[in-house]
């Protein structure tokens, strides 16, 4: 048990005395937009998209706001938030993002709709700008998954592999009265009621109380670091596939977008095999993420069929 890594990373890069601060999760999004914009500009300069290089900064900025942030939040509300208890707080869903999260499926849908709007407004190919956008998207997926690991959230299923990790947030997301009681006894706490608030208190305070680590090692379950698995699958592997398709293969517009949907869906389904399903809901034994990914396969197939039918190419790929 003592050989397993105990997760005690702080979600803060810098934390102020009043509890506010700069989070790794926020930095992951900022870096995603910066790196994604830089890569997209490179593709634009080499004629892999109809979007002029001078418009890339504006495009990425508005895509980040309306596609990723708003789409991701609305997706989380629709797919997960509606099933979460919120005590009748009317601001919980639209405003209090620190109590909820972002859904990658919602962000994908948001980007699809935003790129459609942008293409109509600026008279550029929808699939053309989309093909290059999906190439850089895995950079953000990778960074956000790594931030999920730093936060110790979206934890994996129980495992006995040498690289298994013990996550204190197990006390929050998958805690039970029995687990809370065992944690209390291990820490020698008798005046704190064993409930979800106790789990939140312990998980949040771990970075400031290293003396709690050894007692909790005997209580917490070793688990797959599924966030890292998904960062590698949805980030590194997916980016490599799409970058090679974009820069090394001559494919019609829409095919790379379709490949993104299908590959992302398959890789997400594989990654979720090692991740604890969201406690909100499951569909016939599969997680919400796996269920939603099934629909992406059909969307991807439609994009590929459309691209093969129209046979339109970017300027860098047009036959001489």
Strands 165-166 and 5-6: parallel
Q: Is 145 annotated as a binding residue?
A: yes
148 to 11, 34, 136, 141: CA distances (angstroms)? 9, 19, 20, 10
> Rg of the chain's alpha carbons, rounded to an integer?
22
Q: CB pairs under 8 A, 24+ apart, for 130-133? A: 130/254, 130/257, 131/48, 131/49, 131/246, 131/253, 131/254, 131/255, 131/256, 131/257, 131/314, 132/40, 132/43, 132/44, 132/48, 132/49, 132/51, 132/246, 133/40, 133/63
Binding-site annotation, residues: 145
């Amino acid at each position: 048990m003592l050989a397993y890594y105990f997760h005690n990373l702080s979600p803060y890069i810098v934390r102020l005395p009043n509890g506010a601060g700069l989070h790794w999760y926020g930095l992951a999004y900022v870096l995603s937009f910066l790196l994604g914009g830089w890569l997209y500009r490179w593709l634009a300069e080499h004629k892999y998209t109809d979007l002029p290089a001078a418009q890339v900064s504006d495009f990425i900025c508005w895509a980040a706001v309306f596609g990723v942030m708003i789409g991701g939040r609305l997706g989380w509300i629709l797919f997960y938030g509606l099933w979460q208890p919120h005590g009748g707080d009317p601001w919980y869903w639209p405003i209090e993002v620190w109590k909820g999260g972002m859904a990658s499926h919602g962000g994908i849908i948001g980007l699809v709709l935003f790129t459609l709007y942008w293409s109509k407004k600026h008279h550029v190919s929808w699939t053309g700008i989309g093909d290059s956008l999906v190439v850089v998207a895995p950079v953000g997926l990778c960074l956000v998954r790594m931030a999920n690991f730093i936060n110790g959230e979206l934890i994996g299923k129980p495992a006995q592999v040498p690289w298994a990790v013990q996550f204190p947030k197990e006390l929050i997301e998958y805690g039970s009265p029995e687990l809370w009681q065992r944690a209390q006894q291990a820490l020698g706490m008798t005046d704190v009621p064993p409930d979800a608030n106790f789990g939140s208190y312990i998980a949040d305070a771990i970075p400031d109380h290293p003396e709690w680590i050894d007692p909790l090692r005997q209580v917490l379950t070793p688990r797959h670091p599924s966030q890292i698995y998904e960062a590698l699958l949805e980030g590194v592997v997916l980016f490599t596939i799409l970058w090679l398709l974009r820069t090394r293969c001559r494919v019609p517009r829409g095919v790379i977008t379709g490949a993104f949907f299908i590959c992302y869906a398959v890789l997400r389904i594989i990654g979720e095999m090692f991740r604890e399903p969201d406690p909100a809901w499951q569909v016939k034994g599969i997680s919400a993420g796996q269920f939603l990914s099934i629909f992406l396969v059909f969307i991807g197939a439609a994009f590929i069929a459309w691209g093969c039918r129209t046979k339109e190419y970017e300027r860098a790929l047009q036959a001489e």
